[in-house]
Chain A
Amino acid sequence: MKGQKKIVIIGLVLLMALSAVLAGCGGSASNSASNRGNDKQVLNLNLTQEPPTLDPQKATDVVSIDILTEVLDGLTRYDKDGKIKPGSGLAKSWDISNDGLTYTFHLRDAKWSDGNPITAEDFEYAWKRALDPNTASQYAYQLFYIKGAEEYNSGKGSADQVAVKALDDKTLQVTLKAPTPQFLGLTSFVTYLPLEKSVYEKYGDKVGADPDKLVYSGPFIISQWNHEQSITLKKNKDYWDSSSVKLQTVNFSMIKDNNTLVQNYDNSTLDSIFVPGDYIDKYKNSSEYNDKALATNWYVQFNTKSPVFKNADIRKAFTLAIDRKAFVEHVTKDGSIPAEAVVPPGIPGYNGDFRKEAGETYFKDNDVAQAKELLKKGMSELGISKLPTITLLGDDTDNAKKYDQALQQMWKQNLGVNVQIQNVAFKVRIDMMNKGNYDMVFAGWGADYNDPLTFLDMWETNNGNNTAFYSNPEYDKLIDEAKVNGDLKARNEQLIQAEKILMNDMPIGPVYFQARAFVVKPYVKDLYFPTFGSDWEFKWAYIQND
């Protein structure tokens, strides 16, 4: 018997040895800088999943947008430095009326990938298609700035009443409901991207199901799409600006597993990846590592209808008790920065950065003494001596699980409050938030467009996204006025005032402004990472050969 038992033990020892070998191979960042003599202009990137739909009017998620914005050009296109300039997209130039309501776009001579000219009518058709109730486009509301759009979508008006008109083949006129400074940027957004009218009519609901059910107007075309597996883009020879495009091929894999992703980068089968949270330490000191601020804020959202968090002082206490600095340095690690305000830096104000104009912070980070004080005060206001069980509604992503636990511990250490974490499936969580069936939730908001309003109008009383059920008439008034204010300086003041009120009432406790960590192989040049919208911009990217 003894001899045989040995075999089992030897086996276990082998297992241990295997683990020890693995222990040795962690740590250092990739050593494959000169790994590839890539003489072809091929870029390999990873999409985290299959694009749900490549129908431009139905796409809503970042993966679909990643592909669509590279194969379709809008009236405008964000430049390398994230600005909109005339002539950056299919519109050669535009005129804006003095009241800021009417936009007249003059289209350049450009062709679809099937050789037909791109006309203003294609735009008109696409936009009206997005608004058609029968299309049932989720992002139809992105076009609600246009006069008559909402009416048509909700069945109260007709297509003809939508103020989009192709004056001739090359001229498109749009009239807006109210002055909208972000409108030019919006015309580069996915819902505004057109296809050829005949393609729409031919494929109907099947538009974008396969590469042959699309036509292309952007820097690239889709040459192959193996569902759930890979997408291959090739350079679009008919693109109006094809001389700027140096890449011949872009390959996308669809890897979801973090370890697999990292190994593929280390093996140079991928040229750039977004570093999964846990692997940031591995690359942090590498020259290939970088991070980029995103226009996204993360905050603890309080249910202002809950028996405890209806009290503003308790909300503030929970906000102040968070150690943001430690949080971003040791928990997120991805270059995110502590947030003591709502609107992230980088969002333009009247004349520069909104964050600078409004002031950097509204409160002190990790102000434990003040937090304790406020908690005591709040509890006596509520007339309670002991807090009931407080639950933090959790998300099911790996990062969120980690972050939730870090917050939980900070409240325990700094406030002495035991918070329970409750994890539910994603849609169940959204449903619970909508129904007000929670105490606190850790949530984030990414910009829809490049303006502070995208972070502020959601907290209006009747906004569907206001699941904190926050309500302040003064706040509503400021936002409503700002929405239609043509005087941009006064508008900016109103937004600053609104943010101040929001931070005073604190239905949300800001935690951090998100950044995204990524690594890029040194031979990849001019690959850009936009602050919102898509993950990359590789129109100008190229491979530098040694």
Chain B
Amino acid sequence: MVDISKDKFEIIGANASESQSIVRPSISYWQDAWRRLKMNKVAMASLVFLIFLVLMAIFGPYMRPFDYAHQDLFNTNKPFSKVHWFGTDYLGRDLFVRVWMGARVSLFIGVTIAFLDAVIGVTYGGIAGYFGGQVDNIMMRIVDILYGIPYLILVILLMVVMGQGLWTIITAMVMTGWVGMARIVRGQVLQLKEQEFVLAAKTLGASPGRIILRHLIPNALGPIIVSMTFDVPNAIFSEAFLSYIGLGIRAPLASWGTLANDATQVLLMYPMQLFIPGFFISVTMLAFNMLGDGLRDALDPRLRR
């Protein structure tokens, strides 16, 4: 022990008010996330674009004096013009109006399904992964079973029971769609739950629900968000596939998927008909991905400063 003389220390006194002062303003988790998201220019640009898209989906169909279902059989498959900004389709319908009507349907389907898939998948996967053992085993076998049953049978049966419509499609897709998310979350949780902070939380007496929600899920947020951003285009194309085999939304309503599908039939002759919906789908997905990236960074508790 080195002897340190007392005169090397000086009493400066305690200032009660100062000790309570906070260097940074107190902000919640979400406020912090939003602050960091705002700093990410690419993500913000994507957000602005998506808002623009939503606005166009709402108002776009009224910008031209055509009804999305109105046919003009004497003006089919026309190229871009002053009258028809995006040209017309095989029944002479205005594609500008149809693209924005399609945006309504596709965005709604995509976002709703991604959201529902995430909610169900995260809960299910979280529980299976956290409890592990027999619980995990049985829950995952149920997932295998859902993967294994032919999806089309479910769709056709649902169509018979529920009739054709948007919610039938959404139900059909969510019924099997969430299992992918569940598997990813479960994989992550399996890995994370052995880490020290979980042990710490357990020791402090946190309930399993709290551990899953507050500790495990936020740490698995990266893959979850990436998976969600993939879910959106997946849903949009599953809907297109269903339309392709005749079981999609009710004609003459359009979605980006059906527009792309219809256009693929005439790809060699009128490629621009495919290009327009294709472009919007791609750019939208780009925006979702960039935003997803930004969100991931913003929400990651490890990056919180």
Contact = CB atoms under 8 A, between A and B. Distances in A.
Interface of A: 1, 5, 8, 12, 15-16, 19, 22-23, 25-27, 258-259, 262-263, 276, 278-279, 281-282, 326-327, 329-331, 394-398, 401-402, 404-406, 408-409, 412, 420-425, 428
9 contacts: A12-B286, A23-B271, A278-B266, A282-B269, A406-B71, A409-B71, A423-B164, A423-B251, A424-B246
Contact of B73 (A12, A406, A423): A406
Interface stretch (B56-64, B113-121, B127-135, B275-283): B275-283
B111 interface: no
Contacts of A404: 251
A395 B246 contact: yes
Given A19-B278, A401-B251, A405-B71, 11 more contacts: A15-B282, A278-B269, A279-B266, A281-B269, A330-B76, A408-B252, A409-B69, A409-B252, A412-B69, A422-B163, A423-B164
A22 B267 contact: yes
Contacts of B159: 424-425, 428
With a 10 A CB-CB cut-off, give which of B74, B77, B92, B268 has the most chain A CB atoms: B268
B247 A26 contact: no
Nearest to B278: A19
Interface in B89-145: 90-92
A12 B283 contact: yes
Given A12-B283, A16-B275, A330-B73, A424 B265 contact: no
Nearest to B242: A423
B113 to A, nearest CB: 20
Interface string B24-55: 00000000000000000110000000000000
B271 A425 contact: no
B241 interface: no
Contacts of A326: 73-74
A278 B89 CA distance: 11
A331 B91 contact: yes
A395 B245 CA distance: 10
Contacts of B248: 423
Contacts of A1: 41-42
Given A16-B275, A406-B91, A278 B265 contact: yes
Contacts of A258: 265
A282 to B, nearest CB: 5
Contacts of A425: 156, 159, 246-247
B268 A282 contact: yes
B245 A26 contact: no
Contacts of B77: 281
Nearest to A425: B156
A394 B250 CA distance: 10
Interface of B: 41-42, 69-71, 73-74, 76-77, 90-92, 156, 159-160, 163-164, 245-248, 250-252, 264-272, 274-275, 278-279, 282-283, 286
Contacts of A281: 77, 269
B252 to A, nearest CB: 5
B288 to A, nearest CB: 14
A447 to B, nearest CB: 26
Contact of B272 (A19, A263, A406, A412): A19
With a 10 A CB-CB cut-off, give which of A19, A23, A278 has the most chain B CB atoms: A278
B160 A259 contact: no
Given A406-B71, A423-B251, A424-B159, A26 B270 contact: yes
B91 A5 contact: no
B146 to A, nearest CB: 21
A402 B246 contact: no
Contacts of A409: 69-71, 91, 252
Contacts of A5: 42
Contacts, number: 113
A422 B272 contact: no
A502 B284 CA distance: 54
A409 B76 CA distance: 14
A423 B246 contact: yes
B214 to A, nearest CB: 33
A420 B252 CA distance: 9
Nearest to A406: B91
Contacts of B251: 394, 401, 404-405, 408, 421, 423
Contacts of B279: 12, 15-16
With a 10 A CB-CB cut-off, give which of B90, B245, B269 has the most chain A CB atoms: B269
Given A279-B266, A401-B246, A424-B164, A26 B271 contact: yes
A259 B264 contact: yes
A54 B250 CA distance: 38
A402 B245 contact: no
A324 to B, nearest CB: 12
A398 B91 CA distance: 13
Q: What 7 A-B pairs are tightest by C-beta distance, nearest first?
A: A396-B246, A330-B73, A22-B271, A26-B269, A19-B275, A278-B266, A409-B71
With a 10 A CB-CB cut-off, give which of B77, B156, B266 has the most chain A CB atoms: B266
A396 B164 CA distance: 13
B74 A428 contact: no
Contacts of A421: 250-252
Contact of A428 (B91, B160, B252): B160
Nearest to A420: B250
Given A16-B275, A404-B251, A405-B252, A278 B90 contact: yes
A329 B73 CA distance: 9
A381 to B, nearest CB: 30
Contact of B160 (A16, A26, A331, A424): A424
A249 to B, nearest CB: 29
B73 A259 contact: no
A26 B163 CA distance: 39
A79 B71 CA distance: 44
Contact of B247 (A23, A396, A412): A396
Nearest to B79: A23
Contacts of B274: 19
A398 B265 contact: yes
